[in-house]
Every structure is written in C-alpha cells, then in structure tokens.
Amino acid sequence: MKFGHFDDKAKEYVITNPKTPYPWINYLGNEDFFSLISNTAGGYTFYKDAKFRRLTRYRYNNVPVDNGGKYFYINDGGDVWSPGWKPVKADLDNYSCAHGMSYTRITGERNGVEAEVTYFIPLGTWAEVQKVKLKNTSGATKKLKFFSFIEWCLWNAEDDMQNLQRNLSTGEVEVEGSVIYHKTEFKERRNHYAFFSVNAPIQGFDTDRDTWKGTYNDFDRPDAVFEGEPRNSEAHGWSPCASHYLEIELAPGEEKDLTFVLGYIEVDKDNKWESKNVINKNPAKAVIERFDTVEKVDAELKKLSDYWSKLLSTYELTSGDEKLDRMVNIWNQYQCMVTFNMSRSASFFETGIGRGMGFRDSSQDLIGFVHQVPERARERIIDIASTQFEDGSAYHQYQPLTKRGNHTLGGGFNDDPLWLILSTTDYIKESGDMGILDEMVPYDNDESKATTHFEHLKRSFYFTVNNLGPHGLPLIGRADWNDCLNLNCFSEDPNESFQTTGNKKGFTAESLMIAGSFVLYGKEFIKLCQVLGKDDDAAEAQKHVDAMIEAVKKDGWDGEWYLRAYDYYGKKVGSSENEEGKIFIESQGFCGMAGIGVEDGLVHKSMDSVKEHLDCEYGIVLQQPAFTKYYIEYGEISTYPAGYKENAGIFCHNNPWIMIAEAQIGNGDRAFEYYRKVAPAYLEEISDLHKVEPYVYCQMIAGKDAFKPGEGKNSWLTGTAAWNYVAITQYILGVKPDYNGLSINPSIPSKWDGYKITRRFRGATYHIEVSNPSHVSNGVSSMEVDGKTIEGCIVPIQPEGTEVTVKVTLGK
C-alpha cells in the first residue's frame, strides 16, 4: 500500500494520505539553522545544536505521535481545519505534502478554500520561512479567521522538559506590531532571542499557550481558534507560545499570500537592549525585511533549488530503472547530506539531546557526501581528528558546539581509529588535496601536541598493531562497529549502560570485524604511503597487514565463514560450535571486502554462507540463530527480542558491506539483489508494512525471527545512507574516484544492457556510457576516453572544465 508517490522531476516525494503509518518527515536547512518537519507539519527548529539552542518545543515519545509543530488554523465561518490535516484532523477535500530538497510544501483544501504552506530555510539565514497561499476556490466570498501557532522551547531542550519547578516561572515575550519575540533568559546570560513574524497587520495574537487553547485542550481544539477570538495574551512563565490572528477576506477565485518568518537573533552583549527591559529588535527587523514580499521569498526558493541541483549533479545516473535512478540521483545523496548535517543527533527517533558527532559515525557518513561538499568534508575530518588521543584511540563522540570529545560517553571502541583512514583517503581521492596530510592537527584538542594529519593516520593504523590479543587479532575494547557486542561488559545491573560499562579488563576479547577493517584500511594506508613516496612506512605497514591476514586465516576462519570474535574467555563467537549466534554479518563484510583469503576461496565461501544463513525476504540479518536468552559475556546484543536491532534484525548499515564484497568477486547479480531489498524506493509498495519513509533508508528492518518481518525503524540518521550510496555508485555501477583518476569497474546484474552516468570529478565532467552486450556481470572488455581506447579501467584525470566522453564495454 502506498501513501503517495515520487515526483522525480521536482525531486519530491508527494504524500497524498496524511495518515502515513508513522510520521514521514523532511529536514530544512543546510548550514547553521535546521528544522525537522513531518507530513502534517509536526516538528521543531534549532540553531546549530538540537539540545542547547532549540527554538520550538517538541515532545518525543508522545501520544499521539508527532503532536506539536508549525501549525495553521482556518476558521471558516465556524468550520475549523488545518492545511496539514493535523492538528485539527478535519477531513480535507484535497491534501498533499511534498517533501523536496530542503523544503516541504503542504496543501490542504476544504469547502472551497485552498491553503498551501511552503516551509524552508533560505540559504545563509537563521530563520525558517513559511510561505502561505490562501485561495478561494468557491463561488462565494470567504471571510476567514486565520491563526498561526508555534510553542517556544526554553532553549535547552533537555532542561525544558525536566526542570519544571524553575521553567514554569521564567518564560518572557514581547509583542510589537506583527512580530512576537521570545526572550526567556535574555535578561541574564543569553545573547540571543527568537521571533515569529508575519508580513501583514494582525488583528490579534496570543503568547500564553494555555490561555490560547484552554488548559484541558490539546492542539486540536484551541479555544481561541474555535471561538474565533484571540485572547491577546501576554505570557509570564508557564508555556509561552506565538500565535498570530488575521482576518482575511477572499473574493471568489481570489488568492492572497502571507509570509511568516521564525528566526533566531544573536546580539552583542553591549547592544542587547533598546530601552529598559525592551530588547533590541533591529537585527530581527533586518531579517524580516529580507522576506517581506512574495517575490523575495520566491527568489530564495529558486536559490535553494539551484543549490541542490548543483550538489546532486555531481553524479547522475540514467539506468532505465526509475527506482534506481531516484535513489542514486536524488534521495540517497540527499540523505547523505542530512547525515552530514545531523550525524545521529536529531530525527524522529533521536531526540537531539543524547548524541553528538560520532568519531566512527561521522567518518563513515563522509564517504557518502564527500563528492558533494569536499571542502566541508575536509573541515569535518580535521574536527574529528582533533579529538583523537595521542595513542591513536579516540573519544567515541564529540559535541558539535564545542568540537570537544564527550567524556560522558568515553572511548575504548577499538574500531574507531581505523575509520579515519577511510574518510581521509576517500577525501583525497575525491579532491586530490594531498595538503590535508600536512595540516597540523591537535590531540584531544590540545594544540601543543599537534602533529601532521598524516601522523594521525599512522597512529590510527598502529593503534590496532599495539592492541592485539592472544590470537594476534585486534582486541575489541568496549565494542567495535557493533556497539551492542559488549565482550568486556559483564553487566548484571539493569541500571548500567552497556555502552559505558566495562567490568572486565579488555585484554583477551578479539574482533574479526576489526581484523578485516585493519586489513582493508591498512591496505589503504599502505597505498597512501606509496603515493606519497613513503616506501619505508609502506613496507613496515605491509608486514603488519600480512601478519593480520595470516592470523585471520589461522584463527579467524570457521570453515564456511569468518568467525565474529573471541570472547573474554577465549571462546569463539560466530562459529558453528555456538548454539546461537553461529554466523555474523560484520566479519563476512569486512574480511570479505578486505579480500582475506580470496585466493583460497574464503570470500566466496563466506558470501555463500551469508546467502544461505543470513539472507531473508527483506534483507540480510545481522546474525543467526537469534539469541533467545541473555549472554552476559556478549552484552546488549543478546538483550533484544529475536529479529530486532543487533539481535538478528536487518541492520541496513552492514548490508552494503556484503554488496561490496559480492561486487568485488564479480557477483553483480547478487550484489544488486541485496541492494534492491533494502533500498527504500523499492519498498514503496509495502509502505504499510515498512512503516517508515519510502524515500530514505532506515537503520533497521525487522528480521525473519521478528514478530513482523519487514517493519522498519529509525529512519534518516544512519550510516546506511553513506554505505549504500558507495555500494551502488562505486561498486555496483562501479564509478570510483582514485588517486590518479576515475576508476570504472561495474559489477551489475547480467541482464542489464547498460546505463549512463555523468560524473563531475576534480573539475571535469565525465559522460560515461556503459554497455553490456554480452550480458555479463563484471569485467571491462574495453574503454574509450574521448574516442581513444585506454588500457585498464581508470580514466586518467582530465583538465578542469573539460567535458569527457567515456565509453565502457563489458564482456569476457
């Protein structure tokens, strides 16, 4: 069952039934100022940090879900409704919500009135603009009472929901003309306030939420709206809000526009006040003036559209499969940019107050957006590396506002350092910027300890070398990529966090996933050294990589697949010897991608085992058989109900690792089969089961052991986006940046005839046409660049500004 459709030309997903199985959302904003918005106008806005600078209030885990947002109400002669269906939930004659690239347009029509609201954050602006178009589609004059509504958050989102004994006494506002200002705590240490304006005279307002709606009413039945009478209330404590009231008359066929602006202002300490207790409104007025006509607003929308067209045009596919094209060209790239902006902080499943930027998370996200914003990727890499410790290990997370490591969440996730090699080498291959390696980068933000960024990578590599266990395999520490495989935790107290508790010393438990990662990114490190002419470094590193390969072959192979780990007691994890958890995806993915033992058929065997034991209708599950009881020596992974999350759920993040490993050994058919299973555009028809958005990846789909296999959760903020983008574009479609050119080496379904790709790379534009006359999956039989045949499958770097034609023919 579908709840809307893709409009690929407009780059939109258009929802036509407001009652989606779960709120389907979009993100507004691209720099410092962001909003989350659902298909019924639920959501909230923040400046830079979703915890410390939240502008509007939002309640997570609410009943009903997604209650509260940027609402409009129309009282049409006593008949009250909202353009986004919610909050009033009056039936609409027409409804649509188009989620586009950083904007959302919600349209509702009822009884001869059409209301269209376009929400977006103009580039370079600390404000959300809400463009409202009201049209009389009836044959008679309409006199409408029109109300806006938002609820202010008292800035710190965590404190806002907990510290009521203080916060119910602090709220303060000002109203001047058509602008409502929120100035709670401005009197003291804050140098910022917020405002909500409309570009027309108002006939009333409200700023005290419960006066406006009535204490016992929900947002669906505010007294002021239903009675058609604003209270002109002035908030003093309790819950400040902002609601404009406008009386609007529309002749038959007439249309009127309004522009609302929800903004954030910072002022100098010495420039805060206009007069005693009256805030300095000049900076707000300047922002409001930028959007005070519909022409100005439309120009900003055009700029935003151009911005996205440019970003997305870096990689454009024409495959003949519209689902594939829309994933590759629009939605997967868009999601990657959202993970760049948000890391794991704020979604409808992440509250924005719990997590900062992950060392591992953000390093991985980067491989999905580096081609779009290489300069910003560079800054991110330096930010991440600056939180590394001198021994190469890392804080697991850092705070975006301070860019400092988060002590609360600690470190000891032994896979963390290796991801920095991945992100840096991917960045250099995309940009050609070797200079980043010479940047002086601090450790733990201590500038006095700064070394070159190359030295950071070296320490990342040697952190593993210096932390090997009894089998010569990497010690797992607190956990590796699988945060829930806690081999040193040994917790019996339900109040302990699995993520921060370590009751055992971590000197024995080893990870095959890190072993694979070390070989894979170790090879990248070696290659980088070679490119730099650091042959001694390369040779030294090669010894360690070779030793690791041998260790994996000797003690990391279970016969039909790679082991997952050795536990604290030295017992195998992910072995046929185990009763539950016999085979895991992560080590197959990473040892597979690293090609460990590929010459002996290990990778092929591993992949066949994945197919046999882990594949199911909706994707590849994380491990099998699912755990049915708590294993104290495994930790959190065994706590989930079978089929969910790490306990045999389809953890979409690691499915592309298998796609890549399959693609590398030439199994294009299987690689693409796996791709289709989790790519959201292919799941649109089963939206009622899948539940979350059909235009973005979710972190987890319930596995075959679950109560409801195929049900998705935790959409948007997941490394799934980056990894699937890399798997499809670089390994299946096969266009991959390298130091010396653009590598083209597809691994596709054999039935495909071919496809076209336009790729901007280091200033040139490559028009690539792949044809597959022999219907093979893999193997370039010939390649022509601007009509000239070249050897191998790397298109050499072409001069900036040139248009390059590349013809690739697959075959035996």
Q: Which of 12, 128, 172, 361 binds its own copies (CB under 8 A)?
A: 172
Does residue 139 interact with its own copies by CB under 8 A? Answer: no
| Contacting range for its own copies; rule: CB under 8 A; set: 251-259, 351-359, 474-482, 530-538 | 351-359
Number of residues that bind its own copies (CB under 8 A): 77
Question: Nearest distance from residue 39's CB to its own copies, in Å?
Answer: 12
Q: Determine the 3-state secondary structure of 489 from DSSP.
A: coil
Using CA atoms, how far apart are residues 256 and 135, in angstroms rounded to an integer? 6
Question: Nearest distance from residue 218's CB to its own copies, in Å?
Answer: 5
Question: Nearest distance from residue 331's CB to its own copies, in Å?
Answer: 21
Using CA atoms, how far apart are residues 329 and 327, in angstroms rounded to an integer? 6
Q: Which of 185, 223, 669, 738 binds its own copies (CB under 8 A)?
A: 185
Using CA atoms, how far apart are residues 268 and 265, in angstroms rounded to an integer? 10
Burial of 120 (0-12, 13-18, 19+ CB in 10 A): buried
| Contacting range for its own copies; rule: CB under 8 A; set: 184-192, 250-258, 381-389, 652-660 | 184-192
H helices of 343-465, where? 359-369, 374-385, 416-431, 453-465
Q: Which of 2, 16, 48, 67 binds its own copies (CB under 8 A)?
A: 67
The pattern of x and - marking residues 8 through 47 that bind its own copies according to CB under 8 A reads -----------x-xx-------------------------
DSSP labels, 282-307:
HHHHHHHHTTSSHHHHHHHHHHHHHH
| Contacting range for its own copies; rule: CB under 8 A; set: 59-67, 102-110, 528-536, 549-557 | 59-67
Question: Nearest distance from residue 487's CB to its own copies, in Å?
Answer: 16
Using CA atoms, how far apart are residues 670 and 684, in angstroms rounded to an integer? 21
Verify whether residue 298 is a known catalytic residue.
no
The secondary structure element, H or E, covering residue 676 is: helix 668-678
| Contacting range for its own copies; rule: CB under 8 A; set: 157-165, 518-526, 579-587, 657-665 | 157-165
Does residue 530 interact with its own copies by CB under 8 A? Answer: no
Question: Nearest distance from residue 639's CB to its own copies, in Å?
Answer: 4
The pattern of x and - marking residues 726 through 755 that bind its own copies according to CB under 8 A reads ------------------------------
Q: Which of 60, 226, 307, 389 binds its own copies (CB under 8 A)?
A: 60
User: Rule CB under 8 A: which of 400-439 touch its own copies?
Assistant: none
Does residue 579 interact with its own copies by CB under 8 A? Answer: no
Question: Nearest distance from residue 635's CB to its own copies, in Å?
Answer: 9
Are 755 and 317 a contacting pair, CB within 8 Å? yes
Identity of the amino acid at 427 = Y
Q: Which of 2, 10, 32, 89 binds its own copies (CB under 8 A)?
A: 89
Q: Which of 16, 17, 111, 170 binds its own copies (CB under 8 A)?
A: 170
Does residue 68 interact with its own copies by CB under 8 A? Answer: yes
Question: What tokens were used for 260?
Answer: 């609302």
**Complex with its own copies: residue 21 or 432, whichever CB lies closer:** 21
Closest C-alpha to 85, from 117, 53, 128? 117
DSSP labels, 382-396:
HHHHTTB-TTS-BBS
Q: Strand 510-511's sheet: what is its strand order? A: 510-511, 565-566, 572-573
**Complex with its own copies: residue 276 or 505, whichever CB lies closer:** 276
Q: Which of 12, 109, 114, 160 binds its own copies (CB under 8 A)?
A: 160
Are 264 and 242 a contacting pair, CB within 8 Å? no
**Complex with its own copies: residue 28 or 706, whichever CB lies closer:** 706
Please list, in sequence order, all residues whose beta carbon lies within 8 angstroms of the beta carbon of residue 467, skipping any fewer than 6 positions away.
Answer: 414, 474, 475, 477
Question: Nearest distance from residue 385's CB to its own copies, in Å?
Answer: 25
Give 65's strand partners. Answer: none
Are 369 and 363 a contacting pair, CB within 8 Å? no
Q: Which of 410, 641, 666, 779 binds its own copies (CB under 8 A)?
A: 641
Question: What tokens were used for 416?
Answer: 């963390």
DSSP labels, 458-471:
HHHHHHHHTSB-TT
**Complex with its own copies: residue 270 or 295, whichever CB lies closer:** 270
Estimate to the nearest angstrom the gap between the alpha carbon of 595 and the chain centroid.
29
Closest C-alpha to 111, from 89, 130, 132, 135? 135
**Complex with its own copies: residue 295 or 493, whichever CB lies closer:** 493
**Complex with its own copies: residue 161 or 200, whichever CB lies closer:** 161
Question: What tokens were used for 233?
Answer: 């209330």
Identity of the amino acid at 748 = I
Does residue 182 interact with its own copies by CB under 8 A? Answer: no
User: Rule CB under 8 A: which of 596-635 touch its own copies?
Assistant: 628-630
The catalytically annotated residue of 365, 483, 555, 615 is 483
Q: Which of 188, 268, 295, 599 binds its own copies (CB under 8 A)?
A: 188
User: Rule CB under 8 A: which of 273-312 touch its own copies?
Assistant: 276-277
**Complex with its own copies: residue 537 or 636, whichever CB lies closer:** 636
| Contacting range for its own copies; rule: CB under 8 A; set: 29-37, 113-121, 161-169, 720-728 | 161-169
Are 185 and 108 a contacting pair, CB within 8 Å? no
**Complex with its own copies: residue 150 or 261, whichever CB lies closer:** 150
Strands (E), 559-600: 565-566, 572-573, 583-584
Q: Which of 140, 165, 533, 800 binds its own copies (CB under 8 A)?
A: 165
The pattern of x and - marking residues 259 through 278 that bind its own copies according to CB under 8 A reads -----------------xx-
Give 501's strand partners. Answer: none
Cis amide leading into 746 (omega within 30): no
Identity of the amino acid at 384 = I
Are 659 and 732 a contacting pair, CB within 8 Å? yes
Does residue 644 interact with its own copies by CB under 8 A? Answer: yes
Using CA atoms, how far apart are residues 520 and 657, in angstroms rounded to an integer? 12
Question: Nearest distance from residue 64's CB to its own copies, in Å?
Answer: 5
Annotate 161-175 with three-state secondary structure.
HHCHHHHCCCCEEEE
**Complex with its own copies: residue 644 or 723, whichever CB lies closer:** 644
**Complex with its own copies: residue 141 or 402, whichever CB lies closer:** 402
Q: Which of 349, 419, 674, 725 binds its own copies (CB under 8 A)?
A: 349
User: Rule CB under 8 A: which of 436-495 touch its own copies?
Assistant: 491-495
**Complex with its own copies: residue 350 or 662, whichever CB lies closer:** 350
User: Rule CB under 8 A: which of 216-245 touch its own copies?
Assistant: 216-220, 234, 236-237, 239
Residue indicated by tokens 């992440």:
350
Please list, in sequence order, all residues whose beta carbon lies within 8 angstroms of the beta carbon of residue 598, skipping any fewer than 6 positions away.
Answer: 604, 665
**Complex with its own copies: residue 345 or 388, whichever CB lies closer:** 345
Closest C-alpha to 401, from 57, 46, 45? 46
Question: Nearest distance from residue 703's CB to its own copies, in Å?
Answer: 11
| Contacting range for its own copies; rule: CB under 8 A; set: 188-196, 544-552, 577-585, 730-738 | 188-196
Cis amide leading into 122 (omega within 30): no
Identity of the amino acid at 366 = L
Residue indicated by tokens 């044959």:
139
Does residue 571 interact with its own copies by CB under 8 A? Answer: no
Catalytic residue numbers, as ranges: 483
